A and B are shown apart, each in its own frame.
Chain A
Amino acid sequence: MTTHDQDTAALAAETSEGVQEMAPRSATESAELLLEQGAVLRLPEGVTVDPGDFNVEVHPDETMIINMGPQHPSTHGVLRLMMELDGETVLRTKPVIGYLHTGMEKTGEELTYLQGGTNVTRMDYLAPLHNELVFSLAVEALLALEVPERATWIRMLMSELNRLSSHVLWMATNGMDLGAVSMMVYGWRERELVLSFFEKATGLRMNHNYIRPGGVAADLPPGWEDDVLAICDAFPPRLAEYDDLLTGQPIFRERTEGVGVLMPQEAIALSASGPILRSTGVEWDLRRDMPYMFYDQVDFDVIVGTYGDCFDRYAVRLNEMRESIRIIHQVVERMPRGDYRSQDKKVTPPPRARIDESMEALIHHFKLFTEGFKVPEGEVYTAVESPRGELGCYLVSDGSAKPYRLHIRGPSFANLQTLPIMLRGGLVADAVAVISSVDPIMGEVDR
């Protein structure tokens, strides 16, 4: 694979920086251990470290380093954790990632802006519409392209529905990780409601490529209001069921309350966002605080927790679904008529009917899909609130039809850094609950 010819030797020399794995205790200095706190995360002095809290005097013979994953059912994909255990207590943790790395950012540089959506949508495969949205917003910002109102409202509708389906699947897997297998069946069942609407509207259940630069790929199908309202009606009683099944259930509470506690200043220092940040009590939701699309015109609450433990993260997600339903109701009420994609001929292909009657339209259509459209030179960063936190897209254009550099800021990638802090001092049996509560999507972590 190493087909680069020049300065191979120099690069190879820079490459051997050392092993990614966690170094044994005997090979780590005690000052380093104090600072370390885990391995991916080593907090600087004075931020949150309580040295008395962390016993550096543990003899190396009394601890062992074990691997959890990458093939472990509760690691939600291919996350590998190296944990140093003292008996059943976790002392240090280091996430080792990259098992799902497929070079999607490099691939993004090879695809035109029109094809780019098919690439980014596969990153966070549980919130594909958010990925498409953030990419489209970045391209539109560079193009200075106005999106029709109806397209923006459709995008809001779809991204809130996607938040529902993502959170509900999280409830399912979280339930399964904690032994509530019935929750898993219910979660998949509810997700199916949303996915069947997605299939109807976009043609696909996942990886839709529905939100595109300039608008959306197709208008909503006839009768979409009834479908969406049916989802909105079906969800609240089922969320109430979850309350009965999990929220008030002593076993579930025992397993989540006080487990994997994160402090607000730790979450901020670690660049954690989304439900993890909000569960610590920090009120930060891009939809409210830095509104994009028309989120400033809808009414909803930002859900925050208090203790930052697994239970709070569960509660935040559960109630966020209720808020999403509130937003969806408002979107359905306010959906305007009009175009579902921009009428800018530079970006939008001509309608199918025109192709049959106009040679120019056919050529134009062909050119758009083979060569793509050129985007003015520049760089931009856009961000949306995905179900997992701040999903950002940094896009650099050199004036050609393909992105010069496409970088996606995946929320799971940053959120994973909270694991060593959350796991430290806990039991290895709780690790499953904590990993689950972070909701890492490895497709987005490794990209």
Chain B
Amino acid sequence: MTDATPAEAAPGDGDGAGMAAAEEVHGAPVTWSCGQQVLHPTREQYLDVVKALKDEGFNFCVDLTVVDYLAHPARRLPAGVGPERLELVVNLLSFEGRRRTRLRVQVPAGDPVVASLFRLYPGTEAMEREAFDMMGVRFEGHPDLTRILMPEDWEGHPLRKDYSVGRVPVQFKHPPETR
């Protein structure tokens, strides 16, 4: 068990990322961000690492989301983890240990497919649908991967960085004419 370090004893706030990953949890390099533990499994390791974490006591999947790093590719990652455009972020919580952990999985934009956590945490059903809807990451093994927030005939994935914010043209009226 390499991850016995309590969150309080985490080395320096924020500056943990970027250095060579000294520790590993279930084969995934670990960094610390603002005192929070972050795991960086590969796409292939992802499901096994989550499974191992669940057996270890992380019984609650808090959140699952995707970040599009198109405009900010040079982020700090541990050595050996190659940056990709999309990044899957999963927050897990352990009730017994009263601690959190976070997984960041690199997902290439050309092949945005990752395994679904649905069999492990059924609560990720809606979250994965949202991630698909907003970012276009597909989850293999998800029972009902349809759009959840956007209309079903919507084109594109709005939270991606190359998707423009959009504007509604404002109709200005002429100023009232002076008589």
Contact = CB atoms under 8 A, between A and B. Distances in A.
A2 to B, nearest CB: 5
The 9 closest A-B pairs by CB, nearest first: A271-B123, A398-B72, A98-B149, A409-B63, A101-B149, A270-B123, A380-B34, A407-B65, A11-B156
Nearest to A42: B143
B62 A380 contact: no
Contacts, number: 166
Interface residues on A, range: 35 or more
A224 B127 CA distance: 41
Nearest to B119: A44
B61 to A, nearest CB: 6
Nearest to A35: B143
Contacts of B158: 103, 106
Given A97-B148, A101-B150, A376-B14, A269 B122 contact: yes
B122 A394 contact: no
A396 interface: yes
A446 B14 contact: no
A110 B166 CA distance: 12
Nearest to A15: B155
Given A101-B150, A106-B158, A110-B165, A396 B63 contact: no
A15 B156 contact: yes
Interface string B116-135: 00111111111100101010
A268 B59 contact: yes
B85 interface: no
A17 interface: yes
A11 B153 CA distance: 12
B155 A105 contact: no
A383 B36 contact: no
A246 interface: no
Contacts of A284: 95
B177 interface: no
A377 to B, nearest CB: 7
Interface string B137-168: 01000011111111111111111101111100
B148 A414 contact: no
Nearest to A5: B162
Interface string A219-251: 000000000000000000000000000000000
A57 B28 CA distance: 46
A323 B72 CA distance: 45
A39 B159 CA distance: 25
Contacts of B33: 378-380
B42 interface: no
Interface residues on B, range: 35 or more
Contact of B91 (A6, A41, A394): A394
B15 to A, nearest CB: 9
A1 B151 CA distance: 13
A8 to B, nearest CB: 7
A311 to B, nearest CB: 24
B40 interface: no
A282 B150 CA distance: 34
Contacts of B14: 142, 144, 376, 378
A27 to B, nearest CB: 13
Given A41-B122, A381-B36, A394 B166 contact: no
Contact of B126 (A16, A40, A268, A269): A40
A72 to B, nearest CB: 20
B84 interface: no
B89 interface: yes
B68 interface: yes
Interface string B98-132: 10101000000000000000111111111100101
Contacts of B1: none
Contacts of B156: 2, 4, 8, 11-12, 15
Contacts of A52: none
B100 A413 contact: no
Contacts of A17: 132, 145-147, 152
Contacts of B13: 144
A413 B144 contact: no
Interface string B34-64: 1010100000000000000000000111110
Interface in A29-48: 32, 35-36, 39-44, 47
B9 interface: no
